[in-house]
Amino acid sequence: MIGDSPLMPLLRAPGVYAPQQDTWLLREALADSGLAAGARVVDLCTGTGVLAMEALRLGAREARAFDASGRAVLTARCNAWLSGLPVRVSRGEMALAGRDGRRFDVVLANPPYVPGPDALPPRRGARRAWEGGPDGRMLVDRVCTLAPSLLRRSGTLLMVHSKVCGPARTVRLLRRQGMRAEVVAGMVLPFGPVMRRRAAWLEGAGLIRPGQRTEELVVVRADLA
């Protein structure tokens, strides 16, 4: 199946997250970040691998990618091979990115962030790509905690998520980790299918206003001081 990418044709296995507005917002933030030629980049929750490939197109020397989904890993490897780009894709939790002591100049993250009633993440299926727990921060908080251990001195984290998840909390957590953090990009768009189906639950949980059917996506940048 071909993913809808404005940059390149992509293979996408069933159940793998399709690149969409949050992907391109994060890509634009990467392009605007002043990525140094020869930078080492890691893409967490990579999905199709498109952001890791874009990092190489923008001048990175090395790009690694991680995803907990076997289908996503296979998809990302196929896309990298078809594009002729040397992305090293590994399956596993995001903490494995730093297991060998490797440090990166840039960490990219588009973690699952849609709030939902389930306290535990799904073990399989397409829902793994978006389920973020009751406040949407189940993996967002893990990225905040993990990022400093993955970054080289003066390295940069770029993470995208919905404003429903509380970007101010993301900034506070990153600052507590000793990083300089701020929101650097955003865009408002109508709810997608998952958020539309959950609108009543989101209202009941106090995460959106009554009748709200749009959300703001934000990119948080954090630099290791």
Condensed to tens digits (0 to 9), the pLDDT of residues 72-113 reads 999 999 999 999 999 999 999 888 888 888 899 999 999 999
Is 88 in a helix, a strand, or coil?
strand
Helix, strand, coil share (%) of the chain residues, nearest 5: 35, 30, 40
Whether the CA torsion 202, 205, 211, 212 is positive or negative: it is negative
Amino acid at 127: R
Instruction: Specify whether the CB–CB gap between 217 and 192 falls below 8 A.
Output: no
pLDDT per residue as tens digits for the range 170-183? 999 999 999 999 99
Strand 87-91 to strand 40-44: parallel, antiparallel, or no bridges (unpaired)? Answer: unpaired
- pLDDT value, residue 4: 43
Top-confidence residue, 10 or 151: 151
- pLDDT value, residue 3: 41
Instruction: Specify whether the CB–CB gap between 162 and 136 falls below 8 A.
Output: yes
pLDDT per residue as tens digits for the range 27-66? 999 999 999 989 999 999 999 999 999 999 999 999 999 9
Amino acid at 30: L
- pLDDT value, residue 81: 95
pLDDT per residue as tens digits for the range 2-21? 344 455 678 899 989 999 99
DSSP codes joined into one string, 52-102: HHHHHHTT-SEEEEEES-HHHHHHHHHHHHHHT--EEEEES-GGGGGTT--
Give the predicted TM-score (pTM) of the model.
0.94
- pLDDT value, residue 2: 36
What would the two tokens of residue 41 be?
A: 């980049």
